[in-house]
Amino acid sequence: MLRKLKMGMVGGGDGAFIGEVHRIAARMNGGIELVAGVFGTNREKSLECGRNLYLAPERIYPDFIAMADAERALPEGERIDFVTVCTPNRLHFAISAKFLQSGFHVLCEKPVAMNLGEALELETIVKRSGKLFALMHNYNGFPMIKQARKVIASGQLGELRKINVEYSLGWLAAPNAGKQAAWRVDPKQAGISGCMADIGTHAENLIRYLTGLRIVEVSADLATFVEGRELDDDGSVLLRFDNGARGVIFASEVSTGEENNFIVKIYGDKAALEWHVQTPEELILRSNDAPIQILRRGWPGTGEEAAKASRLPAGHPEGFLEAFANLYDAFAGAIRTGIPGDYPGIDDGISEMRFLEAIVANSKGDVKWTKIGG
Amino acid sequence: MLRKLKMGMVGGGDGAFIGEVHRIAARMNGGIELVAGVFGTNREKSLECGRNLYLAPERIYPDFIAMADAERALPEGERIDFVTVCTPNRLHFAISAKFLQSGFHVLCEKPVAMNLGEALELETIVKRSGKLFALMHNYNGFPMIKQARKVIASGQLGELRKINVEYSLGWLAAPNAGKQAAWRVDPKQAGISGCMADIGTHAENLIRYLTGLRIVEVSADLATFVEGRELDDDGSVLLRFDNGARGVIFASEVSTGEENNFIVKIYGDKAALEWHVQTPEELILRSNDAPIQILRRGWPGTGEEAAKASRLPAGHPEGFLEAFANLYDAFAGAIRTGIPGDYPGIDDGISEMRFLEAIVANSKGDVKWTKIGG
Amino acid sequence: MLRKLKMGMVGGGDGAFIGEVHRIAARMNGGIELVAGVFGTNREKSLECGRNLYLAPERIYPDFIAMADAERALPEGERIDFVTVCTPNRLHFAISAKFLQSGFHVLCEKPVAMNLGEALELETIVKRSGKLFALMHNYNGFPMIKQARKVIASGQLGELRKINVEYSLGWLAAPNAGKQAAWRVDPKQAGISGCMADIGTHAENLIRYLTGLRIVEVSADLATFVEGRELDDDGSVLLRFDNGARGVIFASEVSTGEENNFIVKIYGDKAALEWHVQTPEELILRSNDAPIQILRRGWPGTGEEAAKASRLPAGHPEGFLEAFANLYDAFAGAIRTGIPGDYPGIDDGISEMRFLEAIVANSKGDVKWTKIGG
Amino acid sequence: MLRKLKMGMVGGGDGAFIGEVHRIAARMNGGIELVAGVFGTNREKSLECGRNLYLAPERIYPDFIAMADAERALPEGERIDFVTVCTPNRLHFAISAKFLQSGFHVLCEKPVAMNLGEALELETIVKRSGKLFALMHNYNGFPMIKQARKVIASGQLGELRKINVEYSLGWLAAPNAGKQAAWRVDPKQAGISGCMADIGTHAENLIRYLTGLRIVEVSADLATFVEGRELDDDGSVLLRFDNGARGVIFASEVSTGEENNFIVKIYGDKAALEWHVQTPEELILRSNDAPIQILRRGWPGTGEEAAKASRLPAGHPEGFLEAFANLYDAFAGAIRTGIPGDYPGIDDGISEMRFLEAIVANSKGDVKWTKIGG
């Protein structure tokens, strides 16, 4: 008989918007229930948060180690099926490792770790554990991104030539942008990069997901505009791909007035496509000899990939939470069937770390291009 | 101690997109669980649907009467707290009445009933029952609609003069548009109107919610473009309001190529606002002596009303399901506190029925204007 | 040998934006030169205006009768080839008649006259004169309107069902909107209608040009929102067409904050199109089974009609003046060849007067529908 | 007494779209008349072109040297006042030099010359001649660009931090894109760069005009995607400015499906602005604590700079030709008054050449940053 999957959560307590996002996404399709968690380091707040989420008090744990051990000790069917990790970057590796080694599937926020070393070590742990690992690059979950990927795979754009990605936010434009902002530019919490780790990795991952191309060389200019920050709050990167394509990623968290302006434009020798997260229901297709085509989620003639990832008819707008939920669905399906599905994994985490290390190194030096191995 | 509200459902089985919409909306905030239901008239399909929703088999009922009676017989805390009615229009009245009279709160899909008589009778039943009744006009749930209402109430637009509402769909442009389409133009299932009952009522209700104005006279031209249909699949209505404002509603389900194009434009003597459901995150404010202002959900300076109805930071798009969930939240809050909240109710149902009866009558006659009482 | 056409002008002096628009449009292609005129009733200002336009002082005339007589007396090749009439509506008939009867081609601003009687009389005069008469409904000149007309004529939309036209301006929202505003709501200057004569006629004419359909019945609600005005400053009209199609025109000059918001949406049983004057380079084509198509002026695959009316490659925006110039070009071509071309004429003027008289009469009465003859 | 300025033209014959653009721009305000020219190297075609422009046959010259000499020999008031140079890049220097040295003002297409050496030499010639020199970077002529410049100069954006400019065209995506395409990637005709000389210089110049900032370092990746081309057809450049701001220019003529997609985004620490040439009537202003503002050309509250450069009321779209004509107007005003005005000049030409030489050199080397002198 059908039973709901049981989910645990580490992080995502008071003040962290992404925690509630994970919970809504998990709830959306009705097949997952949250049953255990650690919601931050403040025990009182964690307990209150857990109670507000209808958790049994005994399954609101003092720390992630206690949680992994206690859940492991529960009978099958009662213990959690997987854990979601949504703490600051610093703890991604340790928590993921602990739960994998305790026999649980793990869904972890990006970036996967503090550096490439941790990411590679986690890869080994994942393989040894025999458990599933998902990395939450949520943009992959948008229906029109899935459609775009299909369009590219079909060869409709021809040979890819140019990939331009912009990701602009304004929230860190002023010095004091709050607690959520502070840890993202603190090397002890965030790692070797601020803005690029936070959103540049989304750009890298989305290119990877959409095109399957590999970035082989980068030339970067990372910047810190707000005095006193130890990490980048802005950066631009020239890209060269393994097929000869070129590109640019420019990302910024000091782009005053921008909400969450993530734009992808991919040009092939036959056609091109464009997607904006703030109008996520549309995919713009252009060519040199026909009218522009606007593919819309759910619309006949738009394609199956978007339809499969949709809940609503066209014109009833879906958004960020639905995209997020698509990845939870894919991960839940994998847990039920044992077959990994359409969600990012540890290889995406390794790729983003290689990218980050390369651009940070390049940005500090005088050499034009830095190669990315892997 | 906090417990989740228990929800029942009548309708919303196989093939009805709106059923799953109600369920997702109910799940989204985590405080409601579906525990009982009747999912259509086909017993086998209803059972299968219920099982896929993790319901206990004994609470998947053969019909709504059996369900109301059986749930009533359950102990408090176990029985449902409220029922959602999302059948075709024909049954709205009977089901709502039965559950109210059995001591349950009711959330019903629009339009509230088959005609004004039923709506007035239901009003009496609601009052006598002492239970809460919500009518699902989901567009009220959009954050920027709530903000727009606040802007209007603040007097920022000045005296309202002109209200233009367009609601265009293309899904009924061809004769055979499927089962969901068929009942909407069948007078035995839908009542006295097709298109206008289905979507014209959304227009009427949204104007009512946004402005508080009352339509006092209408002049209408309802049309049936596809041969063989007994009800309107298109219509336009001239409006006169109690403050002297004028307006137009034009709605159509045969507007080929339109997804769900619902646009509201409201002009006052000082300023004007515009909202499109397909770009729901924006409210456009215009005046004669300043730049256009784009208010965006969640953005500083946009206002509190939208923020209160938001889950995500600006730029992470929310949509239809989140708006729907806002009404579920408001209704759940009312159930918990006993105080009716910001959701449409039986008076909205009566208003929509007066509107429908007036435009249907006017459209058939030779008299220019038909007054709307109330 | 090639020579430039010689143009005269009556009206369009100080303060009238449309006068300079006519002159720029006439200049744009280089084949027309302005050589004579009367630029308003103030002789001093008229002389100054003419001198600033490089006219010989002796061809800046005291009034239109003197001008017509004097120009007629000049030798062929020196006298004007045609006159542009851009005075307030009151004088359109008299000036057009005088110049036609004096042997000159005439291009006149809309609306053609003060009432249907004048329009019909002018038709007789045009026919007797053997001269060409153009009525400046400039929206016909936009390349994407010409393309839209072709799309409709090709049958691509199928049988037309619904035609919705919005034309909203805010410039008359306040009582004192200046001299250009004042005459438009003065029945002695403007005729039987204010807003509808000024911009409603554009809507009527554009529908006529695009579809070739005839409006056979109207039901109208004209309004005057600003106290003290004798004519309508706002209005909405339900339309029925000779093929059974329905529609709505709503036009307003008190729509606060609107610049010049002219939108046309035409739905057939196979496809639909949409055009906005404020994004004039695009034509949106929708159907029920394919992605939205955006046709763009000058783009391969967009079609020949737009290309023929274009000066620039796609992406280099053209606008209102270029559209206006297209009609001047068409009229100039007709003058050179003697063959009337793609510009509105006296029949459009008669049509707009029938429309105006019908909606004004209907709006004052209690009868639902008023038929339009012709 | 007022007389029209007399204009000559070299280049702009058969097939060159930009030639007719110059002529329309010159005609638009009525104060300039074309009287002489050389319209390409084919004598027959040049004569035919000139005749179609109503030129006297004796002033359609066999070459630019003959033209400069003959015009110089004409009496003042009859000879040309200035010449427009719109040949391929190769001849810009020689023709400009000849006419300046013959005592004529010169308006020249961009880029100013084949290399920095020519540009510097031309600067000397301009100074010695005492004549005016304008460089046609037409984007400066758009009203909302002038408004944007004013907004920036006012300090409303605060200290500038990030400048992102995209300029994408698709017209060279395929190998054989016609004669106009061919010379732009031929080093003998175009100089050291293809795409960057053709459109990258527009980006550089617009940044310069808008912000007054100087680019001090560049890191570039120029590419040639279509085999057989000797010059770049695509490129991306990282920018560092003299105030510490950073930026990116990415320009491409192989971006399949793009018409003329020129986008500028400028971020300061207080606010940001955005402009797209394909919606040129709007300027988008963003900040972190207020709604987005859309400034529209001609609209009250938008500012004087745009209004001064406008011909039409808001909502009647202006475009590329009107912007072009604004620069002609400014240049004509300068000729009449002797006072240089708001148009680009030889210093812009030198700046664009320094930029081009730096990015071409950097792109070929292994060094990260190349400084730009000046």
User: How far is Cα B99 from Cα B82, in angstroms, rounded to an integer?
Assistant: 8
Q: Which two tokens stand for residue C287?
A: 């159907």
Q: What are phi and psi of D209, to 5 degrees?
A: -65, -45
Tracing tokens 């191309």 back to the chain, one arrives at A213
Q: Per DSSP, what are the bridge partners of residue B106?
A: B83, B133
pLDDT tens digits, one per residue of B103-154: 999 999 999 999 999 999 999 999 999 999 999 999 999 999 999 999 999 9
User: How far is Cα B341 from Cα B309, in angstroms, rounded to an integer?
Assistant: 13
Q: Do B100 and B106 touch, CB atoms closer than 8 A?
A: yes
Q: Which residues of A touch B (CB under 8 A)?
A: 2-4, 17, 20-21, 23-24, 27-31, 34, 51-54, 169, 171, 258-261, 277-281, 296, 298-299, 311-322
Of chain D, the percentage scoring pLDDT greater than 90 comes to: 94
Residue C165's nearest CA partner among C224, C218, C112 is: C218
pLDDT tens digits, one per residue of A45-97: 999 999 999 999 999 999 999 999 999 999 999 999 999 999 999 999 999 99
DSSP label at C117?
A: H
The confidence score (pLDDT) of residue B1 equals 58
The confidence score (pLDDT) of residue C105 equals 98
Q: Which two tokens stand for residue B199?
A: 């979507």
Q: What angle do CA C242, C244, C249 make, to 5 degrees?
A: 80
For residue C208, how many C-alpha atoms fall within 13 Å in the half-sphere facing its CB? 22
The confidence score (pLDDT) of residue A1 equals 58
Mean pLDDT, residues C244-257: 98
Number of residues in chain D: 374
CB contact under 8 A, B278 and A169: no
Q: Flag whether pLDDT at D1 surpasses 70.
A: no
Mutation site for D-interface testing, chosen from C5, C320, C326, C329 by largest number of D Cβ within 10 Å: C320
Residue of C nearest to B159 (CA): C225
Q: Which two tokens stand for residue A111?
A: 């970036």
Q: Which two tokens stand for residue C197?
A: 């004569």
For residue B343, give the 3-state DSSP assignment. Answer: coil
Ordered alpha helix ranges (H), B4-115? 17-28, 43-52, 64-73, 92-101
Tracing tokens 């088999």 back to the chain, one arrives at B57
DSSP of D225-254: -STT-SS-SEEEEEEEETTS-EEEEEEES-
**CA A104 vs CA A9, A335, B271, C108, C134: distances in Å:** 12, 10, 58, 81, 80
Q: Which two tokens stand for residue B218?
A: 């209408």
Q: Which two tokens stand for residue B298?
A: 């969640």
Query: Would you tell me how many other CB atoms lie within 10 Å of the CB of residue D167?
Result: 27
The confidence score (pLDDT) of residue C24 equals 97
The confidence score (pLDDT) of residue D277 equals 97
Residue of A nearest to C290 (CA): A301
CB contact under 8 A, B272 and C258: yes
Q: Do C148 and C275 touch, CB atoms closer than 8 A?
A: yes
pLDDT tens digits, one per residue of A113-127: 999 999 999 999 999
pLDDT tens digits, one per residue of D288-314: 999 999 999 999 999 999 999 999 999
Is the pLDDT higher at A162 or at C182?
A: A162
Q: Which two tokens stand for residue C212?
A: 């070739």
DSSP of D123-189: HHHHHHHT--EEEE-GGGGSHHHHHHHHHHHTTTT-SEEEEEEEEE--TTSSS---HHHHGGG-HHH
Average pLDDT of chain B is 96
Of chain B, the percentage scoring pLDDT greater than 90 comes to: 94
For residue C236, give the 3-state DSSP assignment. Answer: strand
User: How far is Cα A91 from Cα C320, in angstroms, rounded to an integer?
Assistant: 60
All residue ranges of chain A with pLDDT < 70 are: 1
Mutation site for B-interface testing, chosen from D292, D293, D294 by largest number of B Cβ within 10 Å: D292
Q: Which two tokens stand for residue A245?
A: 């394509």
Q: Flag whether pLDDT at C14 surpasses 90.
A: no
First to last CA, chain D: 44
User: How far is Cα B172 from Cα B185, in angstroms, rounded to an integer?
Assistant: 10
Model confidence at D176, pLDDT cuts 50, 70, 90, reads confident
User: How far is Cα B251 from Cα B193, in angstroms, rounded to an integer?
Assistant: 12
pLDDT tens digits, one per residue of A12-26: 997 778 999 999 999
What sign has the CA pseudo-torsion D71, D72, D74, D80?
A: positive
Q: What are phi and psi of D28, to 5 degrees?
A: -55, -45
CB contact under 8 A, D23 and C17: no
For residue B145, give the 3-state DSSP assignment. Answer: helix
CB contact under 8 A, B314 and A259: yes
User: How far is Cα D323 from Cα D325, in angstroms, rounded to an integer?
Assistant: 5
CB neighbours of D299 closer than 8 A, spacing ≥ 6?
B291, C259, D314
User: How far is Cα A246 from Cα D235, in angstroms, rounded to an integer?
Assistant: 9
pTM: 0.97
DSSP of D254-276: --TT-SSEEEEEEEESSEEEEEE
CB contact under 8 A, D17 and C312: yes
**CA C63 vs CA C39, C72, C107, C263: distances in Å:** 9, 14, 18, 38
User: How far is Cα D150 from Cα D275, in angstroms, rounded to an integer?
Assistant: 14
User: How far is Cα A371 from Cα A356, in angstroms, rounded to an integer?
Assistant: 12
List chain D residues with CB under 8 Å of B289.
Answer: 300-301
Model confidence at D2, pLDDT cuts 50, 70, 90, reads confident
Q: Flag whether pLDDT at B184 surpasses 90.
A: no
Q: Which two tokens stand for residue A367?
A: 């050499």
Burial code (b: 16+ CB inside 10 Å, e: under 16) for A248-272 equals bbbbbbbbbbbbbbbbbbbbbbbbb
The confidence score (pLDDT) of residue A63 equals 98
Q: Per DSSP, what are the bridge partners of residue D238?
A: D219, D248
Residue of D nearest to A240 (CA): D221
CB contact under 8 A, B290 and D301: yes
The confidence score (pLDDT) of residue C158 equals 98
Q: What is the ipTM of this complex?
A: 0.96
Mapped to the 3 state alphabet, what secondary structure does chain A carry?
CCCCEEEEEEECCCCCHHHHHHHHHHHHCCCEEEEEEECCCCHHHHHHHHHHCCCCHHHECCCHHHHHHHHHHCCCCCCCCEEEEECCHHHHHHHHHHHHHCCCEEEEECCCCCCHHHHHHHHHHHHHHCCCEEEECHHHHCHHHHHHHHHHHCCCCCCEEEEEEEEECCCCCCCCCCHHHHHHCCHHHHCCCCHHHHHHHHHHHHHHHHHCCCEEEEEEEEECCCCCCCCCCEEEEEEEECCCCEEEEEEECCCCCCCCEEEEEEEECCEEEEEECCCCCEEEEEECCCCEEEEECCCCCCCHHHHHCCCCCCCCCCCHHHHHHHHHHHHHHHHHHCCCCCCCCHHHHHHHHHHHHHHHHHHHCCECCEECCC
Q: Flag whether pLDDT at B166 surpasses 90.
A: yes
Q: Which two tokens stand for residue A27?
A: 């709830």
Number of residues in chain C: 374
The letter for the amino acid at C348 is D
Mutation site for D-interface testing, chosen from B274, B292, B302 by largest number of D Cβ within 10 Å: B292
CB contact under 8 A, D294 and B292: yes
Residue B168's nearest CA partner among B210, B203, B204, B211 is: B203
pLDDT tens digits, one per residue of D178-213: 877 888 889 999 999 999 999 999 999 999 999 999
Tracing tokens 């006012």 back to the chain, one arrives at D154
List chain C residues with CB under 8 Å of D311.
Answer: 20-21, 24, 321
The confidence score (pLDDT) of residue A344 equals 98
List chain D residues with CB under 8 Å of B301.
Answer: 289-291
Q: Flag whether pLDDT at C177 surpasses 80.
A: no
Q: Which two tokens stand for residue A170?
A: 């304004």
Tell how far CA B201 is from the center of its chain: 8
The letter for the amino acid at A30 is G
User: In terms of DSSP bridges, do strands A82-86 and A105-109 run parallel, antiparallel, or are they unpaired?
Assistant: parallel
Residue D247's nearest CA partner among D217, D275, D272 is: D217
Residue A149's nearest CA partner among A105, A209, A225 is: A209
List chain A residues with CB under 8 Å of B3.
Answer: 54
The confidence score (pLDDT) of residue C1 equals 58
Model confidence at B95, pLDDT cuts 50, 70, 90, reads very high
| Residue C195 burial (C-beta neighbours within 10 Å; 0-12, 13-18, 19+) | buried
Number of residue pairs across A and D with CB atoms under 8 Å? 145
Strand order in the sheet with A105-109: A32-38, A5-11, A82-86, A105-109, A133-136
CB contact under 8 A, D221 and A219: yes
Of B51, B278, B318, the CB nearest to A315: B278
- The reply to whether omega before B111 is within 30° of 0 (cis) is yes
CB contact under 8 A, D286 and A256: yes
